[in-house]
Amino acid sequence: MIFRRPTPPALITGVATRAKWNQPNEDVHRIGTLTLGRHSFLYAMVSDGAGGLPNPRLASGAVYEALPELLPERLGRSGWGRCERLRWLCRDLCERVMRCSGGGGATFSLVVVEYPRYWAVVVGDSPVYVTNGYLGIRRICWAERGTVPRSTFLGFPVFDARSASGRLRPKDTLLLCSDGVGNILTQEMLLERIRSASDFTQLPERLIEEARQEALASGGMDDMTAAVLHIPES
């Protein structure tokens, strides 16, 4: 029997970011493709200048430590050597955070897709969400309530990276958010907006605008970033 990989659909991607008031935006993001040997991946990253590990290099290092268990085993040793490129992308993103935030702490969320598989790793409170079509939504976050830190650094708690993997199907959505969105909009609100989305490229902007209005009503404001990867119906 010959196993044939499902033909990858053209994933719909969208991203939006907005700074709080007139201050510099400490959130940074990136969506792109990465080729490792014969494998081609779509990746998305979101990083926040505060709320996570106290040094962005620690955040990217925690992500990199999780990558061997995150990416497919079939890449093997030779393929893993090429993952230095992914590590470089993590480091580059964190360097941008340092420049924006003046060296503050950094959260880091990374999603890698090789359809139909996805792998996610989170360091900090910038969550990743994955939907089951339009029926349910799951939150992947590092600082879940009750989590015990493995150590401290300069008085800050240091946690292990949180990772997850699974299979995607048509109508599934991966959503990466900074805490300015993820801590404002509930999972129920996010799922409802995903269900009603007519244009997933514009969904991040819609989520940010709604989170902004909610934050203004409660008297608080933060930098806001959202990135979407959506699997359309075939």
Cβ contacts of 38 within 8 Å, gap of 6 or more: none
6 is a domain residue: no
Torsion of CA 101, 201, 111, 156, to 10 degrees: 30
> Is 7 inside a domain boundary?
no
Look up tokens 């201050």; give the residue: 23
pLDDT of residue 144: 53
More reliable by pLDDT, 161 or 42 = 42
SS3 category, 133: coil
Rounded-to-integer distance, Cα 156 and Cα 172, Å:
36
Per residue in 37-86, pLDDT (tens digit) is 677 788 898 888 655 555 666 666 666 666 666 555 545 454 555 566 66
Query: Which residue range forms the structural domain that includes residue 131?
Result: 22-230
Answer whether 0.75 is exceeded by the pTM. Answer: yes
Has residue 187 been placed in a domain?
yes
In angstroms, rounded to a whole number, what is the distance separating the alpha carbons of residues 44 and 116?
16
- The tally of CA atoms less than 13 A away on the side-chain side of residue 29 is 25
Is the confidence at residue 33, as pLDDT, over 70?
yes
- How many domains does the chain divide into? 1
Q: 158 to each of 103, 153, 171, 183, how far by Cα in Å?
A: 17, 7, 36, 20
Cα distances (angstroms) measured from residue 13 to each of 33, 69, 92: 12, 25, 21
What is the arithmetic mean of pLDDT over 113-131? 88
Residue 16 near residue 204, CB atoms below 8 Å? yes
pLDDT given for residue 148 in this prediction: 54
Residue pointed to by tokens 């029997």: 1
Residue 130 lies in a domain: yes
Only one residue has tokens 């409802």, namely: 192
* CA 197 – CA 11 distance, rounded (Å): 15
**Residue at token pair 């990217």:** 60
Rounded mean pLDDT, 84-100: 67
Residue 78 falls within a domain, yes or no?
Answer: yes
Determine, yes or no, domain membership for 10.
Answer: no
- State the average pLDDT over residues 158-170: 81
pLDDT of residue 21: 73
Identify the weakest region by mean pLDDT among 5-19, 85-99, 112-126, 193-207.
85-99
CATH number at residue 213: 3.60.40.10
User: Is 120 part of any domain?
Assistant: yes
Whole-number percent of the chain with pLDDT over 90: 33
189 contact partners, CB below 8 Å, separation of at least 6: 210
